[in-house]
Amino acid sequence: MAVELSLIVAMSKNGCIGSNGDLPWPRIKEDMRFFRETTTGSSVIMGRKTYESIGSKALSFRKNVVISSTHLANINTAIDFRSAVDQCFYKAFAIGGARVYSDALASDKLRTMYITRIHKHFDGDTFFPDYDKSKWRIESHRQSYSEDCKCKLTFEKHVKI
Ligand SMILES: NC(=O)c1ccc[n+]([C@@H]2O[C@H](COP(=O)([O-])OP(=O)(O)OC[C@H]3O[C@@H](n4cnc5c(N)ncnc54)[C@H](OP(=O)(O)O)[C@@H]3O)[C@@H](O)[C@H]2O)c1
């Protein structure tokens, strides 16, 4: 069965997604819950650094595939994005970091993007890649406010045109 590929990301106003191997912002409970609820039951594809950032442990109730040039113990490892997708069940999410998002954006299998906009500037060293916005439309969005970051959040669902 063909894999249905999505990506899920949280980014700041300036497109920042990571800082020093971690998220640039304090834990945002509402976004973490959204991530868990959206990806549970599916496969998740992540880069080796993202895997390390979550404590080198598999996310529960999901098939985890980690991309690395080195075989990692106790986790499904893939040498590149294409072979990671090949290991996935029918529904898969690219969950970062930057290189994995770039690979997902370049894949013709990518149909949906779940983007959490954090309406605040955060400094960091890892950014969501540029992509052709004319190929995407926002199907739905929901606004919220988080005390954790003391700012507005927008949960957007983008679909490929
Ligand atoms: N805001 C968000 O939603 C979000 C989501 C995820 C991660 N993050 C943050 O992003 C940062 C980590 O992202 P990152 O971009 O630095 O690293 P990353 O993509 O998580 O991991 C990079 C590593 O993954 C492997 N890899 C990835 N793509 C590959 C490919 N196509 N072919 C071969 N190997 C590949 C390589 O591992 P080897 O070096 O082992 O070969 C590479 O060094 C952290 O700060 C994390 O907290 C944020």
So what's the pLDDT on residue 33? 98
Q: Contact 34/116 with Cβ under 8 angstroms? A: yes
DSSP string, 47-67: EHHHHHHTTS-PPTTSEEEEE
Q: What is the pLDDT of residue 2?
A: 86
| pLDDT (0 to 100) of residue 139 | 98
Q: Would you tell me how many other CB atoms lie within 10 Å of the CB of residue 56?
A: 13
> Is 17's C-beta closer than 6 angstroms to any atom of ligand 1?
yes
Residue 124 near ligand 1, beta carbon < 6 Å: no
Q: What are the angstrom distances between the C-alpha of 28 and each of 9, 101, 141, 145, 152? A: 13, 21, 18, 10, 11
| Domain 4-160: assigned CATH number | 3.40.430.10
Q: Is 55 in the pocket of ligand 1 (CB under 6 A)?
A: no
Q: pTM to 2 decimals?
A: 0.97
Q: How far is the CA of 44 from the centre of ligand 1 (A)?
A: 13
CA atoms within 13 A on the CB side of 129: 14
For the chain of 161 residues, list the mean pLDDT of each consecutive stretch of 10. 93 98 96 98 98 97 97 96 95 97 97 98 98 97 97 98 95
Nearest Cα residue to atom 37 of ligand 1:
68
pLDDT at 90: 87
Nearest CA to ligand 1 atom 36: 68
